């Protein structure tokens, strides 16, 4: 492959795309900057025009992932339509859909060890995604009597943790962790049990 160096059309994004491919194949610590450059078809020296090291490259992948994730969550929530309950449940499904469709971004965001506070931009994008779920939880919690109403941040954190757990254990193809149930069914039933416990769904007959 001929070296394209600085004449590469969009070198920065080409490197991010290359890192996402390598992250999916080898994990966030399984490649070097030189390998990312080779995958992108540029010289290793060209990388340093945009990134100081591998962590900076992965942080950019995580930033782009959080921006996409926040947009997807907002789309799933749809300003609470058609109901507070349906919109809330849609955000849980959107979490699982994102992890499946964009595994490289997901790993960069949640499994790379990159702090969301590494840069102000990354912190803002992460907060925007989290705020959608908290908004959904806040709206749904208004249907719970005030004396039994958990804080919205706790409510949303429980669902986030449940969604993340289903993804990590059963939706990523981890050897030895196969489930007899589809991840979507596990998540839906788990959220249902949680919401019934809060009195937001009628008990099963």
Taking residues 115-126, report their average pLDDT: 95
Q: Has domain 1-51 been given CATH number 1.10.3470?
A: no
Q: How far is CA 13 from CA 37, 96, 113, in A?
A: 11, 25, 21
Mean residue pLDDT of the chain comes to 87
Query: What is the C-alpha separation between 40 and 91, in angstroms, rounded?
Result: 34
Q: Tell which residue, 155, 156, 169, has the closest CA to residue 127.
A: 156
- Measuring CA to CA, how many Å separate 193 from each of 17, 86, 87, 114, 203? 39, 15, 17, 33, 9
Q: Where are the domains of the chain?
A: 1-51, 54-197
Q: Give the pLDDT score at 204.
A: 62
Predicted local confidence at residue 5, as pLDDT: 42
Half-sphere CA count of 7, side-chain side, radius 13 A = 3
Radius of gyration in angstroms for the set of CA atoms belonging to the chain, rounded to a whole number: 20
pLDDT at 119 over 80: yes
Q: Which of 58-72, 100-114, 152-166 comes out lowest in average pLDDT?
A: 152-166
Q: Is 81 exposed, middle or buried (0-12, 13-18, 19+ CB in 10 A)?
A: exposed
Q: How many CA atoms lie less than 13 Å away from 198 in the CB half-sphere?
A: 23
Whole-number pLDDT of residue 132: 93
Q: Do domains 1-51 and 54-197 have the same CATH topology?
A: no
Backbone torsion region of residue 80, taken as left when φ is above 0, otherwise alpha when ψ lies between -120 and 50, otherwise beta: left
Measured CA to CA, the distance from residue 187 to residue 201 in angstroms comes to 16
Structure confidence by residue, pLDDT tens digits, 142-169 = 888 888 888 888 988 998 899 999 988 8
- In the DSSP assignment, the letter for residue 28 is T
**CATH top-level class of 54-197:** mainly alpha
């Amino acid at each position: 492959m001929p070296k394209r160096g600085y004449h590469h059309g969009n070198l920065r994004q080409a490197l991010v795309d290359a890192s996402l491919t390598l992250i999916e194949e080898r994990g966030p610590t399984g490649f070097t900057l030189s390998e990312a450059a080779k995958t992108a078809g540029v010289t290793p020296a060209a990388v340093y025009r945009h990134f100081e090291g591998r962590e900076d490259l992965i942080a950019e992948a995580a930033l782009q992932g959080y921006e996409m994730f926040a947009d997807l969550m907002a789309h799933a929530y749809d300003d609470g339509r058609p109901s507070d309950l349906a919109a809330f449940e849609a955000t849980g499904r959107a979490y699982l859909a994102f992890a499946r469709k964009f595994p490289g971004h997901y790993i960069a965001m949640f499994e790379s060890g990159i702090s969301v506070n590494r840069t102000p931009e990354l912190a803002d994008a992460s907060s925007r995604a989290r705020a959608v779920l908290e908004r959904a939880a806040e709206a749904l919690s208004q249907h719970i009597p005030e004396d039994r109403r958990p804080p919205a941040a706790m409510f949303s954190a429980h669902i986030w943790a449940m969604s993340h757990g289903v993804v990590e254990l059963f939706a990523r193809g981890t050897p030895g962790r196969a489930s007899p149930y589809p991840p979507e069914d596990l998540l839906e039933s788990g959220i249902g049990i949680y919401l019934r416990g809060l009195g937001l769904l009628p008990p099963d007959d």
